Structure 1
Amino acid sequence: MRRLLSLLLVLMLIMGALAGCGQKSQETSDKSNQQNANTQQVAQETTYQRNETVYFGGGLWSPPSNWNPLTPWNAVTGTVGLIYETLFNYDPLKNEFIPWLAEKGEWTSDNTYQITLRDGLTWQDGKPLTSEDVKFTFEIAKQYSEIYYSPMWQWLQSIETPDNKTVIFKFSTVNYHEWAYNLYQIPIIPKHIWADKSKDDMLNGANEKAIGSGPYLFDTYSNDRMVYKRNDNWWGIKAMNMTPAPKRIVYLIVPSNNVALGMLMKGELDLSNFFLPGIKTLKANYGITTFYDNPPYMIPDNTVFMFINTTKSPLNNVELRRAMAYAINPKVIAEKVYENQVEPANPLGFVPAKAWEEYYDKNVVNKYGYTYDPEKAKSILDAAGFKLGSDGVRTAPDGKRFKLEISVPYGWTDWMEAAKIVADQLKAVGIDAEAKFPDYSKYYEDLTKGTFDLSFNNFGSQVTSTPWTLYNWLFNKVQENGPQNNGNFGRFDVPGLQDLIAKFNQTKLGSPEAKQAAAQLEEIFLKNMPAIPLWYNGLWFQASNAAWENWPTEHDPYAYPVTWGGRWQTGGTMMLMKIKPKASQ
């Protein structure tokens, strides 16, 4: 039931984390080796008018080779959002669902949700988009259990389409939080194109020259870029009175943060979704726009947690985990590593977003939470039998020495420096710890197989319409056999935990019952500390004003400025409607 959400979270946070650390871990499909040479040459050699073209970077990590909306973790960034669209968009800044393909959606009973589509919806080939397309999109996941949102059919009972504009979803069990999230995550696909595809083509096909309903068309691509062309027949121009400003979007593979920095300074990159140091100098000397004028400059987008392997001794000792929470001071990381472009996380790891604030139970945090207090950490360790030796290193209650490794991927330089700081802070209270930097594949293998000690990760902590997504990830059901791919990497569990997560999912958003269930989950988290929230990873956003202007900022927060894969429908598409070519060009 929870695989859909988990897969999507992993996809989106991998993209965000990679952009933050300048890494490239996506594997290139074999199909990329079969790209048409002429197409590549055209894409690389064509020069577009600068006042019609925006150049983006930070979400493309390998040569474009997949545009399949049914495998969004492999699809080129923009496949969902620019080509294929969702029923709603979502604005994390305002916590608002933005009617998109759907004109409205409402619960007509406790277990029935009705969608009314807009008038005049069309696919990019001119054919009408109707309720049958929506029904087809959801029902192929019932037909083929391998589709990533197929588990929804464990609680979705039936779909009815009484007319071309109306879609009625009936549920056997209503997962209100998960459904709200799905409304802006599942891209609608054209039945008249996909109905004749084989199962293998649906699940494994590259879907080159994709045809969706969105504001941009598949134009061309090469080894280092994806080019989208504006759909001047887009239904939204009339229905929503919106016209995308750029005629073309060129999404570039930018190999490193330093390259992105140079391109931004020269006006060759209009928007960067990378972590870039020296932002204060960039703003002062090069007129670079960030969302906030002052620190942290960036919107807090997700939380970096240090997962603790609760299956290993002595990390299975809750007092050791609590002591580590008191021993770590993320403020040092924010200052020394990120130049205050990030902020220390709160004890729950809740991103400071409107959708989550109402679920943050201050009474629970005040009772069970923690602050940086190394003396408190020492007293907890002393009381728990972690004795301090003459060499300043503690032994476990059974008298054995132990050493903890903090694992982050090699090359993720900001996380590497942060891991060193955490290791030093743990040493300061007598816990022998050392930062280790395996390559990404080894890091991920250790993380998912549970062979690590301590490990940083943020792949499922980004802001969404509900903090249920966070707990679905933090407390993901432990797999008895096989890797733990979708969160809860430390394999934490207590009796009744999964039932409580399901209960939270089945409460109406914002209801007293939802807040009560959230508070119970928060208490379990703080009492057991299976992971320690460290800092809010930023929505890295730096925009050049050399060729384009009117970027979203705190003064005009009209859009969440994200272009990472799977995130366009949470602000990136809206941003394209409001930016303007520089008047002086």
Structure 2
Amino acid sequence: MMNVGKKVLILTLAFLFLVGGMSLAQDLPREETLVVSGAMWGPPSTWNVLIPNPTPGTGGLVYETMFSYNPLENEYQPWLAESGEWVSDNEYVLNLREGINWTDGEEFNAEDVVFTYELAKDNSIMYSPVWDWMESVEAEDNYTVRFTFSEPHYAEWDSELYQRYIIPEHIWSEIPSDELITRTMKDPVGTGPYMAREAGQDRMVWERNDDWWGNDVFGQPKPKYLVDLVNQSNNVVMGMLMKGELDLSNNFIPGVQKVKDQFGLKTWYDGEPYMLSWNTANMYMNTTRKPMDDVQFRRAMAYMVDQQAIVDRVYGGLVKPANPTGLFGEGWLKYLDENVVDEYGFEYNTTKAKALLNDAGYVDADGDGWRDMPNGDPLELSIIVPSGWTDWMSAVRVISQNAEEIGVNITPNFPDSSLFDNKRFNKDFDMLIANFNTTLSSNPFDYWDGVANESIHGETISNGNWGAYDNPKLFDLIDKFNMTKNETEKQEIASEIQRILLEEMPTVPLWHNGLWAQQTTNNWTNWPNEDDPYGVPVSWGNAYQLGMIHTLIGLEPAE
């Protein structure tokens, strides 16, 4: 006999199917429309690419970068640029493609690139810090730009090449400085393959730019329309996938692997881990508080956590346990030193964790079953993640159970996301899980700068290193990695960085979060996967240049 819970779930899903079908009804031909979800968490409201999080797709679909980056092959592909190279230790010359126009018909040229960067010099916007090490940017002719650096940051520049969206001078030069961030730019003028068509409370609709310059270079994207739906609950998304109404979901959907074959869903891998890895979830420890200021205690925490239990029990095999260094992906793993990992790495080992704590004086002094501080004070800690992040909430419960096994009292706590951020920025926590600044990129400087940087001495922290770990020697090594082109030197520096991080353990890499991506084939086929990795199916903001445009080009309409 069917229990009441199952009956309610089935009725709920049936209702959601109907609602989902009704919500998609509009005048767009379905056979020309790609429907995606997973990037927007509220109605589209701004297309201003100068802010960190405009409407997803603004960067990539409308505004484009100088290069794209293939994280699967660790390869750059010329995009708005035809080529670029360091012509000296502190000069980089960019050669632009000819024949590119903005969607309003104006010509794209070197002055637009110069303007994009000089805007950040004259105003405080998100990429203004590039001018801390850039000296000048000049147009030598219509299609040549020379960047001169006062202190070249080679690793950061590698990322800049595929992360900086170029904007049209003839549009943005008319905007007053005090409106550069507040203007919504609702009808954005770009060079990209799509244009804004309409925005609604539950969706953003993009229409293909049939005059896109890239049609002759890369091929034309197949979908004429792209509908990006505002995120709903997991049940709604799952229902739409099961009915084939949603073509691509970039949502985390627990249990999707259990119904994948039944409903014909596609994922990157056919079996575990199903998803590509996208970032590293770290356990940060607040080193300004005891006992997290003790390296012995921090190392014990690394041996304490059963990563595989989190992978199996929380994610059902949808993610991978983290490499002890936190590194993954082709661009990062080329610098991985396996010898360092073998000598200084960690694994789940309660015997080792207990021994480290015992040696450091963290013992049960009063016989209540919990370890105490070396001075006899109670050892009571909390670990926080945002409320509603159900997978992370389950993960910290596993960590709390792991801690109990070795006699350490760590209580899970779930503040709302705004309070979590406040605590993170203000060092008001004992431990927390975070993946900020650890997303897959072209080199591991981005990761290292996110777990150990020197911007920790003010009242607040806003750029990683949430635990305020202070190690000037390590900071200097990370800077040296950033500022050398010599690959032999970079490998040596990278090895030393990994050794220090594993010896000092300011953070514990736990698991590699997946690129949550589930596809249906009712309307579109030929999705990229491990056997045909021609693109990356990701609609998250600021990720289109990492393979999604290639996916739009490679898709085929279903027969």
Per the normalisation by structure 2, the TM-score is 0.94
2:158 match: secondary structure: helix
The 5-angstrom pairing of residues 123-162 of structure 1 reads 123-144=102-123, 146-162=124-140
The 5-angstrom pairing of residues 238-317 of structure 1 reads 238=216, 240-317=217-294
Match of residue 201 from structure 1: 179
Match of residue 444 from structure 1: 421
Match of residue 221 from structure 1: 199
Of 342, 345, 354 in structure 2, the residue corresponding to residue 369 of structure 1 is 345
CA contact (8 A) 1:348 1:526 kept: yes
Distance 2:148 2:349 in 1: 51
Distance 2:327 2:53 in 1: 28
AA partner of residue 411 (structure 2) = E
Of 94, 104, 108 in structure 2, the residue corresponding to residue 115 of structure 1 is 94
Please state if 1:356 is matched with 2:338. Answer: no
Question: Please, what is the CA RMSD of the aligned residues?
Answer: 1.3
CA contact (8 A) 1:211 1:218 kept: no
Larger CA deviation: 57-66 vs 357-366: 357-366
Distance 2:518 2:384 in 1: 29
CA apart distance, 1:45: 6.5
CA apart distance, 1:227: 0.5
Match of residue 496 from structure 1: 473
CA contact (8 A) 1:322 1:529 kept: yes
CA apart distance, 1:93: 0.3
AA partner of residue 484 (structure 1) = I
Please state if 1:167 is matched with 2:141. Answer: no
AA partner of residue 112 (structure 1) = E
Match of residue 31 from structure 2: 51
AA partner of residue 580 (structure 1) = E
Please state if 1:105 is matched with 2:81. Answer: no
CA contact (8 A) 1:478 1:493 kept: no
Match of residue 496 from structure 2: 520
Please state if 1:67 is matched with 2:47. Answer: yes
Larger CA deviation: 434-443 vs 417-426: 434-443
Please state if 1:568 is matched with 2:547. Answer: no
CA contact (8 A) 1:329 1:372 kept: yes
CA contact (8 A) 2:303 2:346 kept: yes
Q: How many residues align?
A: 536
CA apart distance, 1:518: 1.5
Match of residue 12 from structure 2: none
Distance 2:494 2:187 in 1: 44
Match of residue 209 from structure 2: 231
2:383 match: secondary structure: strand
CA contact (8 A) 1:123 1:190 kept: yes
Distance 1:234 1:162 in 2: 26
Distance 1:87 1:174 in 2: 18
Distance 2:359 2:224 in 1: 66
Distance 1:292 1:483 in 2: 41
Q: Deviations over 1:518-546 (max 9, x none)?
A: 12221221111111110110000100111
Q: Deviations over 1:375-404 (max 9, x none)?
A: 011111111111135332101111111211
Q: Deviations over 1:5-64 (max 9, x none)?
A: xxxxxxxxxxxxxxxxxxxxxxxxxxxxxxxxxxxxxx9863311110011100001111
Per the normalisation by structure 1, the TM-score is 0.90
Q: Deviations over 1:450-470 (max 9, x none)?
A: 111110000111110000000
2:163 match: secondary structure: coil
Please state if 1:530 is matched with 2:510. Answer: no
The 5-angstrom pairing of residues 378-527 of structure 1 reads 378-389=354-365, 390-508=367-485, 511-527=487-503
1:566 match: secondary structure: coil
Match of residue 29 from structure 1: none
Distance 1:326 1:280 in 2: 29
2:395 match: secondary structure: helix
AA partner of residue 182 (structure 1) = E
Match of residue 77 from structure 1: 56
Distance 1:177 1:151 in 2: 14
Larger CA deviation: 252-261 vs 295-304: 252-261
CA contact (8 A) 1:478 1:492 kept: no
AA partner of residue 465 (structure 2) = N
Distance 2:412 2:418 in 1: 17
Please state if 1:185 is matched with 2:155. Answer: no
The 5-angstrom pairing of residues 340-351 of structure 1 reads 340-351=317-328
Match of residue 320 from structure 1: 297
AA partner of residue 120 (structure 2) = A
